[in-house]
Amino acid sequence: MRWLRAYRVHLLLFAAGLLVYGAVAGDRLARQSSDPHFVLQADAWRHGRIAIDRPRGDDWAKVETVRLDDGRVVRGRRLTTRKTFRVAGGGELPQSRIVASQGTTTYMSFPPVPALLMLPQVMVAGPRANDVAFTIAFAAACLPLLFSVLRRLHAAGASRRTVADDLWLVALFGVGTVFFFSAVQGKVWFTAHVVGVCFALAYAWASIDARHPVLAGVALGLATMTRTPMAFMFPLFAFEAWRVAGGLPALRAGGDDRRAAIRAMLRRGLAFAAPILVIAGAAVAYNLHRFGEPTEFGHSYLAVRQQAQIEAHGLFSYTYLARNLAVAFTLLPELPGKAPWLQISGHGLAMWVTTPALLLLLWPAERPPLHRALWLTVAAVAVPTFFYQNSGWVQFGYRFSLDYLPFLILLLAIGGRRFGWGTRALIVVGIVVNLFGATTFGRHPEYYRTQGAAYGTVVAD
């Protein structure tokens, strides 16, 4: 009973998440989603395989095995724009050297941790396991996790928010951001985001005051093996370890103080790095087995509509920057002047449109030491995604922001701006906007401009 009293708010938040997300998901809970990649991968492991025999949905990595004119058998993929064959492990050959194709192997092109977490469910339900229910359960767990991080900030003296303020921030994140529409879909992309957020919150909790370096390392490693951009969350722990060890004053002091500071930073740093190296080693071995490259998760082998631009510019390029910045910061709802009267680009809406309260980050009342560390963490995760070949298509709002959105919520917590009626009104507006997104996305295509040339025209003519 003492435990229940201590964690009653956490339990109520989890129950509220299950209720709200379950209600909005509705009939989706009765069946598997259309893109259950993690379920199929877990089922393949259950049968001792890595490759997927019967893939369903989009974004699968296809590796072709071909025989060359010199008798060699190699694996890789055909590059349509250059008429070459990209060999797994490196190098290209003219397609004219291919004598015969010996078949194609299908792999999941997403990091595997969510599939690992689905294994118990798949062991019971098999390949028809429900990824929608799995995603909703993890989404609901994110709410008490966020509350715990916010209270941890308060206990560490970085935040002066009351419990009521922190509950407003939990509501903002849970139903006032793009997390809401992502939580109720199932499907591989959204499941990865939701699970990644859980690990990001665990990482943030463990990183405050660098109190739990091993747990922070485990959480960062698992987050990376869920959403690869989350590998760049490391500045938060690094800055906190530096700060609690004394920072520059301790290093300048010399003598015993300097040696103690260096030992403290090394001890925390090694404890933090050890689990990351173990997880990274497992990922490298997994990728080498599938694609012959240590950092290749399969995105270079996708057969998608933007394949030509990937072959021309790569997965990351300055070419994609203008589009991605527009999607993140400038896209507005479109008003066509006829039914359905409102449309949203398949690239989604700008972050400040879906979550107006984020505008308050531009005018913090306070800047405690954690302020800089959090912003550097946000920048480290966000900037690479702005150069990525995909904007998140198709989406209600800029879903890639979920990789760093928890840290933006923490910045709101430590910013010191009073939660008056204006702030709460912005939160309520965000809740209304995202309720529309969560209920319409995937159900009412008339509100979303995704047909024809919509991908290439970010803003409607």
At 255 the pLDDT is 74
Within 10 Å of residue 309's Cβ, how many Cβ atoms?
17
The CA distances from residue 396 to 348, 386, 439, 449, 451, in Å, are 5, 18, 11, 11, 15
- Summarize pLDDT for 419-455 with one digit per residue, the tens: 999 999 999 999 999 999 999 999 999 999 998 777 7
List of residues 6+ apart from 345 with CB closer than 8 A: 331, 334, 448, 449, 454, 458, 459, 460
User: What is the arithmetic mean of pLDDT over 105-133?
Assistant: 96
Q: Which amino acid belongs to residue 349? A: L
At 165 the pLDDT is 97
When mean pLDDT is compared across 307-316, 397-406, 410-419, the lowest value belongs to 307-316
* Domain boundaries, given as residue ranges, for the chain: 2-37+113-449, 65-103
Rounded-to-integer distance, Cα 104 and Cα 85, Å: 14
- Summarize pLDDT for 191-235 with one digit per residue, the tens: 999 999 999 999 999 999 999 999 999 999 999 999 999 999 999
Nearest C-alpha neighbor of 132 from the set 178, 183, 181, 179: 183
C-beta of residue 114 within 8 angstroms of C-beta of residue 191: yes
Report the percentage of the chain scoring pLDDT > 90.
84
Nearest C-alpha neighbor of 252 from the set 244, 242, 261: 261
Does the pLDDT at position 11 exceed 60?
A: yes
User: What is the arithmetic mean of pLDDT over 403-430?
Assistant: 96
Segment holding 345, helix H or strand E: strand 344-345
At 459 the pLDDT is 63
Does the pLDDT at position 275 exceed 80?
A: yes
